[in-house]
A and B are shown apart, each in its own frame.
Chain A
């Protein structure tokens, strides 16, 4: 039972344009959401997070939006840069439970 879903395995975006990565979840108990970025042969690194009491969190070029009614969150990267090419994982949890990860979306930025 995949509680966190990233339905797009890959995404290609022109450099300078906006990248939008999507994530859906099924567990309404989730109250904290995170995005991780992963380069090949490296561990994931934390990118940005959002609590369920908010609907938007911004950090530089990265913004995460949360739509609780739709059980959907998205990560916006603008402007996209070549170094953003990586696999992005969405993750969620509630209380003090362990994180549940999505399957990842490979983002490729085209110069």
Chain B
């Protein structure tokens, strides 16, 4: 079954530490995206990549970094520079023709 997998589902981080969230897809999709959802807020775009070895900043990229070395993988690193990292993070992918996104099940990051 094709799909998009995020891991881990829950993640705890100490203040000052970097942490990397995994996102893998086997849908053969070219484009991948990272969103953040906070309570009572919508989906805010962090980074996106339309092709391997290329990515662009979204609306709230500060304090985050990404890489796209393989078509299937788009990991997100939450750095210590991100002031409010506690949130629900969603990864998505889409085909060449962006008719719809397929989302992963999300990772809830909590800073302790």
Contact of A32 among B88, B96, B99 (CB under 8 A): B99
Among B31, B42, B101, which residue has its beta carbon within 8 angstroms of that of A46? B101
Chain B, 16-50, contact with A by CB distance < 8 Å: what is the 0/1 string? 00000000000000010101000011110100100
B residues in contact with A102, CB < 8 Å: 42
Pairwise interchain contact A98-B31, C-beta atoms closer than 8 A: yes
The reply to whether A49 and B103 form a contact with Cβ atoms under 8 Å apart is: no
Question: Among the listed A6, A44, A103, which residue makes an inter-chain contact with B103, where contact means beta carbons less than 8 Å apart?
Answer: A44
Majority SS at the chain A contact face: loop
Cα–Cα distance between A32 and B88 once the two chains are bound (Å): 27
Within 8 Å CB of B96, what residues of A? 96
The distance in angstroms between the C-alpha atoms of A93 and B45, with both chains bound, is: 14
> A9 to B40, Cβ gap below 8 A?
yes
Neighbouring B residues of A32 by C-beta, 8 Å:
99
Question: Are A96 and B90 in contact, CB atoms less than 8 angstroms apart?
Answer: no
Chain A interface size band reads: 20 to 34
Given contacts A43-B90, A49-B99, A49-B100, contact A98 B33 (CB under 8 A): yes
In the bound complex, residues from chain A placing their C-beta under 8 Å from that of B105 are 41-43
Contact assessment for A93 and B98 in the assembled complex, using a CB-CB cutoff below 8 Å: yes
What 0/1 readout, one digit per residue, does chain A (77-106) give for beta carbons within 8 Å of chain B? 000000000000100010011110111100
User: Which B residues are within 8 Å of any A CB, using their own CB?
Assistant: 4, 6, 31, 33, 35, 40-43, 45, 48, 88, 90, 92, 94, 96-106, 108
| 30 chain-A/chain-B pairs, Cβ below 8 angstroms | A9-B40, A36-B103, A41-B88, A41-B106, A41-B108, A42-B105, A43-B6, A43-B90, A43-B103, A43-B104, A43-B106, A44-B90, A44-B103, A45-B103, A46-B100, A46-B101, A46-B102, A89-B42, A93-B98, A96-B98, A98-B31, A98-B33, A98-B45, A98-B98, A99-B94, A99-B98, A99-B101, A101-B43, A103-B42, A104-B43
